[in-house]
Chains A and B, each alone.
Chain A
Amino acid sequence: MIQLIDVNKTFLNSPVPAVRGVSMEVKDGEICAMVGPSGCGKTTILRMINRLEEPSSGTIMVGGRDIQQEDPDRLRRGIGYVIQQIGLLPHRTIGENVSLVPRLLRWSEQKIKSRVINLLEMVGLDPGQVYEKFPHQLSGGQMQRVGVARALAADPPILLMDEPFGAVDPIVRNRLQEEFLNLQQQVKKTVCFVTHDINEAIKMGDRIAVLNEGRLVQYNSPLEVLSHPVNDFVVNILGEDRGVKLLNLTRAEALMSEAVLLQESQMDRAVQVLQESGKTVGFIKPNGNESIKYFTLENIKKGMPVKEILEKGTCFIDGFQPVKTALETMMKRNSDVVGILKEDRFVGIITWQDIKKHISTIREHENEC
C-alpha cells in the first residue's frame, strides 16, 4: 500500500509549488492512474514515492513504513520503475538489462538467469531471440516490454510507471496496455501509472487520480469520475464524449430490463402476468431451435395485439459486456433491442430507450454542476 499524507513539494527556483497538500492512498494490487495536464504534479508525485524527489513537507508511506527512514537506493530496489524513455543501458545486452536489480540485490547467477528468461516470456518476448541482443537492435515496443520486465525483475510489490506507453504508436500502445492488464491479473502489483491521456487512465486505472496545479482534484473509480465529476476541470479533462466513455464502463446488465418467462398458453393474459411479476419484458419459451420471441409492456400498452408485437430476438450479448457493445450491436443489426444473456440463458433485454435514459441521467448531473 502507498499512502501520501499532506504531501507538498516546491522546487528550488520555482515560485509555484508543484504539489500542494496531496493526500491519497493506493491499495494493494490496485492500479492508480494519475492524470492531468503537464505541470499538474503527477510525475513529481511519482518520483517522490521512490525518493527521486524529496517532498518539501508531508509523509509518504510504502508498505506501512515511512520512506524517509529508509536508504533511498535500497528503497528503489524494492520498487519497480518504468519510464517513457525506457532508459535501457545501451552497452548491455537485454539479459543484462533485465537482470540489473537482481544483480544489485546479489542474487545467484543461476537464479538470475532463470528469472530473466521467465520474465522475458511473461512480457511476450522470445528469450532465445532477444537475450543476447543489444537495445538498439529492438523495436520501440519490444524495448518497452524489456523496460517492464526490468522493473518486475526482483518481484517488487510496487510499480511506478511514468507514461510507459507514451512513445509507441497507437496500435502497439493498445496492445501493450492490454498485455499489461493481463500481466497485472497474474502479478497483482500496486501500481502508480502516470498518463496525460484520460482514455488510458480510464482503461488502466482501478482508480483515477485527477490532478491540477499540484492539487488532487478527484480520486475515484473510473465509473465514479465519469458519472460524478466533481467540477468543471474534471468535466473538461474527460472530454466531450464523456457519455460514450461511460457507456464503455457500464455493464449492459446494469441497464437491462429483466424478463419473465411465459408459457404459450399464458399469452392471452400476458399483460396481467407481466404486471403481477413487476417486470416489463416477457418472453416465450422457444420450441426446439426457434429463436426467442419476446414482447414489451410498452408495446402492449399501445394497444397492439400480442401476436403482432412479438419480436424475434436474434441479437444477444453477454451481460458483462459494456453498454457500448450493446449500442454497437443495435447499430449493426438495425435493431432497437438487444437480448441479454447470462451463462447462456436469456435473462432480459436492453433497449435503445434504456441507453438514452441512461445518457440523460448523466446529462442531468452535468447540468447540476
Chain B
Amino acid sequence: MQVIRFIISNQQRILEYTLNHFSLVITVMLFSLVLWFLTGLLISRYQRIAEPVLSFSNILFCIPSISLYGLFMTLPQLGLGRRSAALALIMYAMMPLVRNVYRGVKSVDPWVIEAGRGMGMSWRQILLEIQIPLALPVVFAGIRVTVVLITGMATVATYIGERNLGRLIQHGIARSDYNMIITGAVIVSIIAVLLDYILGLLEKRLTPGRV
C-alpha cells in the first residue's frame, strides 16, 4: 500500500525516470544490434579475426560496469551523462550479441550451404536466404539475454548522472526508503520482462515452420 502511495505521489518523477531508462535501453539496443550483428557476420565470414574479436568482447564484459562508466566519464568528449552510459552499455552488449550471431551462423549445417552454392546461389543469397534465417533462433537468444542485461546495467548509470530508475534505487538506499527501492526495482524488472516477451513474440513470427 505504501509503495502505491509513493508511486502516486511521485508520479511525475517516476514517469520521467522510466522514460529515460526505457529510451536509454532502446538506444543502446538499436546501436548494438546494427553494430554487433554486422561484426558477428563479419567474423563468421573471416574466420581469422573471429578469435581475437571474441576474446576482446569477453574482456570488455569482465570489466565491472561502474568502472567502465567511470572511465568513459573522464573522457572530455563523453563526460557525465547519457553518452558515457550508452557507450559503456554498447560495449557490454558486444559479447552476448557478437558471440550469438557468430555461433548462430556457424551452427548452420555446412551441407545446406554446400547445396546452396552447388545450386548457384551467390554468397549474398546464401547469407540472406540460408545463414541468417537459420541463425535467427540463436541470434534471438542472444538479443533477449542482452536486453535483460542492459536493462539491469542501465540502473548503475545513475552514478554518472543518468536520471533513470537506478536513481530511485540509489536514493532509496541512501535514505533507507524501502518504497523507493522497491518501486525502482519492480519497474526495471517489468521493463526487462516486457522487452523479453515482445522479442519472444517477434522470434516466433520470424522463424516459422521449424521444430
- Interface residues in chain A, defined as those with a beta carbon under 8 Å from any beta carbon in chain B: 50, 52, 72-78, 81, 83, 85-91, 93, 100-101, 104, 134, 136, 150, 160
Contact = CB atoms under 8 A, between A and B. Distances in A.
Contacts of A81: 115, 118-119
Nearest to A147: B115
Contacts of A76: 117-120
A101 B114 CA distance: 14
Contacts of B209: 91, 93, 134
A104 B116 CA distance: 11
B111 A50 contact: no
Interface residues on B, range: 20 to 34
* 8 A-B pairs closest in CB distance: A87-B115, A77-B120, A81-B118, A76-B120, A85-B111, A87-B111, A87-B112, A73-B120
B10 interface: no
Contact of B112 (A89, A93, A104): A89
B114 A83 contact: yes
Contacts, number: 71
B160 interface: no
Interface string B82-115: 0000000000000000000000000001011111
Residue in B117, B125, B207, B210 whose Cβ sees the most chain A Cβ within 10 Å: B117
Contact of B130 (A73, A77, A89): A89
7 contacts: A73-B122, A77-B119, A81-B119, A87-B111, A87-B114, A90-B109, A160-B118
Contacts of A100: 116, 119, 121
A89 B116 CA distance: 8
Which of A50, A85, A88, A90: most chain B Cβ within 10 A? A90
B210 A52 contact: no
B41 interface: no
Given A85-B111, A93-B209, A104 B118 contact: no
Given A52-B117, A52-B118, A89-B116, A83 B111 contact: yes
Residue among A72, A88, A104 with most chain B CB within 10 A: A104
A88 B130 CA distance: 10
B180 interface: no
B115 A91 contact: no
B128 to A, nearest CB: 12
A136 B211 contact: yes
B134 interface: yes
Contacts of A83: 111, 114-115, 118
B133 interface: yes
Contact of B134 (A74, A91, A101, A150): A91
A74 B120 contact: yes
